[in-house]
Amino acid sequence: MKKTLIYKSKLVALAIACMLFATGCEIDELDDPNNPSVDLVNDATLSELQNLITGIEAGMRNRLGTYYDDVGVIGREFYRFSGSDPRFTADLLGKGSAELDNNTFYITGPYAERYRVIKNTNFLLEAVDKTSAAISDAQKNYMRGFAKTIKAYQLLLNLNLLYQNGIRTNVSDPDNLGPFRSYEQSLDDIEGLLNEAATELSGSEDEFVFSLSSGFAGFDDPASFLEFNRAIAARVAVYQEDFTAALDYLDDSFFDLTGDLNTGPEHFFSTAGGDVTNPLFFPANASGETRVAHPTFVTDALANDDRLSKVSERESAASLDNLTSNYDVMVYPSQADNIPIIRNEELVLIYAEANARQGSPGPAITAIDEIRTAHGLDPYAGATTEEALIDEILFQRRYSLFAEGHRWIDMRRYNRLDELPIDREGDNVWEQFPVPVTEVQ
């Protein structure tokens, strides 16, 4: 990653974000918080630290729609129809001789934005180390724990795209970037960051001295943010196929087998002036720019499954580039809907998968049944072999986590990409994105 990957943002944009994200946050006169001056890093006030934290959270939303289009289209969850850009139905679906381009928006955009947030977490870590603000050591650790948790999550999103190409996990010094790490090494590095953060979040004080947006309501103090951290660690452990660790992390997360499946922190969006609206929203029956469900999402569904409410039947079919769907994606029916970062429903399914993979079918089936009955289905009545249970869990993940960025990754980690539907002769299901051109030496 070259330094040009990290774009500058405007102070006014951060000020607006701070007003929307953290009620009562005061904006000091300061340099661009996404590219802090030496004075800011060396002696940040509490307000300046708050500004950095607010900027980090706001930046997590940038190009998020592109990331979900990448994984959702390749994973055959939906089509992204665009009258102005054929690459959504050509490059991403491997049409004919089309290939994924390493110098195109669908990889350079989300990749750069994730590293911009990572750079800001590094600024925050340095500023916390050097601040003379009157805050306790515990509160400084909480800021470090916040920064490292978000840094790990951003690294994970980029790793999801590049997969076996690996990513740089050490980018603290822009003039001396660390090497690309393998997929396995990158996961280990991400897990290590999360565990460092967990230690720092396990402090003696009950509240943060900084504020987060309402998207983190219920996860905005050290104990609950730690539970969010452990939830992400459980996801990472599943990717590592370390199912013992996954269950351990779940124990310390907000996992609740019988609890609200939608509980979890979210990316905040709103229609307020100057803020960002949900990038995954398109109105029903839109033309030109829209997302429509892959037809098999409906045809493969079980009768009475209420998760079919995540799509809506169109007044007339949408067609583009020899692809057709009768259903709009309606996971987010308004511009102001938040996008989950991780939900309890995913954690219940991680619990099921980890138990199935460890030869404990009883707990796995209990978790599967919690999901099935919550969505109007009868309890599971199939075979109890590991293979049968994993088939069922992947099916439930497909519907429970539809358009939340998991299907492509799930099928890839079980070597089942060849089971995803091919809609046109000559199409391909890609395994990973190429390393962006900005990284090519």
Closest CA to 127 of 49, 56, 69, 11: 49
pTM here is 0.92
pLDDT value for 10: 37
Q: 25-84, pLDDT tens digit by residue?
A: 333 333 444 455 455 678 899 999 999 999 999 999 999 999 999 999 999 999 999 999
Burial (CB count <10 Å: 0-12, 13-18, 19+), residue 428: middle
Question: CA 343 to CA 261: how far, in whole Å?
Answer: 7
Question: CA 419 to CA 390: how far, in whole Å?
Answer: 14
Alpha-carbon distances, residue 42 vs 45, 146, 287 (angstroms): 10, 19, 51
- Distance spanning both ends of the chain, measured CA to CA: 9
- Residues linked to residue 318 through DSSP beta bridges, in sequence order: 325
Closest CA to 112 of 436, 440, 441: 436
Asked if 91 and 104 touch (Cβ cutoff 8 Å), the reply is: yes
Q: 97-131, pLDDT tens digit by residue?
A: 999 999 999 999 999 999 999 999 999 999 999 99
Containing 325, the helix (H) or strand (E) segment is strand 323-329
Low-confidence ranges of the chain (pLDDT < 50): 1-34, 37
pLDDT value for 39: 57
How many CB atoms neighbour CB 181 within 10 A? 19
Query: How does DSSP assign 402-423, residue by residue?
Result: TTTT-HHHHHHHTT-GGGS---
pLDDT value for 72: 98
Domain boundaries, the chain: 3-269, 352-418
Asked if 356 and 411 touch (Cβ cutoff 8 Å), the reply is: no
Q: Which CATH class is domain 3-269?
A: mainly alpha
- The identity of residue 117, as a single letter, is V
How many CB atoms neighbour CB 285 within 10 A? 13
H helices present in 315-385, as ranges: 344-357, 361-374
